[in-house]
Amino acid sequence: MSLKTEITAGITTFLTMAYILAVNPSILSETGMDKGALFTTTVLVSAGATILMGLFAKLPFALAPGMGLNAFFAYTICASLGYSWQFALTAVFLEGLIFIFLTVSNLREKLVYILPDSVKNAISAGIGLYIAFIGLKSAGIIVDHPSTLVCFGKLTSASVLGLLGIVVTSALLIKKVKGGLLFGILITMLAGIPLGVTKFSGIFSAPPSIEPIFFKFEWSQIFSQQMAIVVMTFLFVDLFGAIGTIIGVANSAGTEKDGKITGLNRAFLVDAIATTGGAVMGSSTVTTFVESAVGVKEGGRCGVTAFTCGLCFLSALFLAPLFLAIPASATAPVLVLVGLMMVSSSVPKIDFGDYSEAVPAFLCIIFMPLSYSISEGIVIGHLSYVFINLCCGRIKKVSVGMCALAAFFILRFFF
């Protein structure tokens, strides 16, 4: 590894994640939270957590308020169930404290090694399809359809730019251009100017105050059944979503040695601290981003990548208009190609000649993009592994820990 490669990887990771600076405030502000304060909090939480990951865990993983988790926060807890955003923040804070306990007691790390090897390998491939689907969807190449759920979208300036970006970035990778993914983003972004997709609205802006959402908790229902259900739901989705992401990206980064992921428990601790601290600052659950895989494929292997990405987040505090000008069509090609890389690197490790291994792995892979959830893919993959092998009489392949985890997954459906 070289310092230049790590820095390039960090910048590339940031560019693929920069959308969170616009999307997260947009989603959470629908609860009544101050949008300007949310932007500043999103920047500070993402920067702090990612820098901590680089310095403490020394891994090339970037963190930010999780997509899906912020939607659950805004649309389910607040909009559908009618709770205040202060109630939701309190649930996130409690979830973070539980995460810290689970991490310090090594329970989170033990959960990782309970999962069957075929499912763990499938996680990386599933995430590959998942982020590729996210990329195609964000660029408007794939759109929703009332009859078939999804279909190929109409050609628009945004979708044409996304397709052009795939071709250009692929060519850079084939030519083995150093920093090809990063250059692919930049070239696609510039190509979007004449198409009207890339729009600059300035360079500098002063960050808004976070005072309207800082330390705004609602303690009156802390021991209520409703709070317990919300906390447990947050806990489950984030727990296995984070496990899946870290396993998938770690496999791509080659940080797994003798079946153990280097620095895993430290990564989990950073994740837990970030969620707890993020709630104090007014953020929904903070988690490791699957886009970290982009930096890994660019050559990032250590904490310098994360540290660089964190510094990029800090710079966005004053350069928001510039960074937010990067359209989804410019990052979509990278997500698609990194998805390809993750699938191609992990699928050969799965024994498709043994259906007791192949079926659970395949279900894990396919459920992630189709359910739009990493955690649901893990659940289906693990449950199918346990039940299929027990039905076949292959009891020795199923440990007590696997059965206990399967029971927990089943109970989860009743919440």
Q: How far is CA 241 from CA 40, 45, 68, 70, 378, in A?
A: 25, 19, 10, 13, 8
DSSP label at residue 25: H
- Domain positions in the chain are 3-412
Q: What DSSP character marks residue 65? A: E
Q: In this predicted structure, what is the pLDDT of residue 350?
A: 92
Quick one: 30 exposed, middle or buried, by C-beta within 10 A (0-12, 13-18, 19+)? middle
For residues 271 and 314, what is the distance between their CA atoms, to the nearest angstrom? 19
The pairing of beta strand 63-65 with beta strand 142-145? unpaired
Residue 252 has pLDDT above 90, yes or no: no
pLDDT digits (tens, 9 = 90+) for 299-311: 998 999 999 999 9
- Please give the average per-residue pLDDT across 82-94, as a whole number: 96
- Residue 195 — pLDDT band, cuts 50, 70, 90? very high
In 3D space, the residue among 323, 235, 382 whose CA is nearest the CA of residue 17 turns out to be 323
Backbone angles phi, psi at 363, to 5 degrees: -65, -40
pLDDT for res 259: 62
Beta bridge partners of 287: 64
* Most confident by average pLDDT, 39-53, 105-119, 167-181, 332-346: 39-53
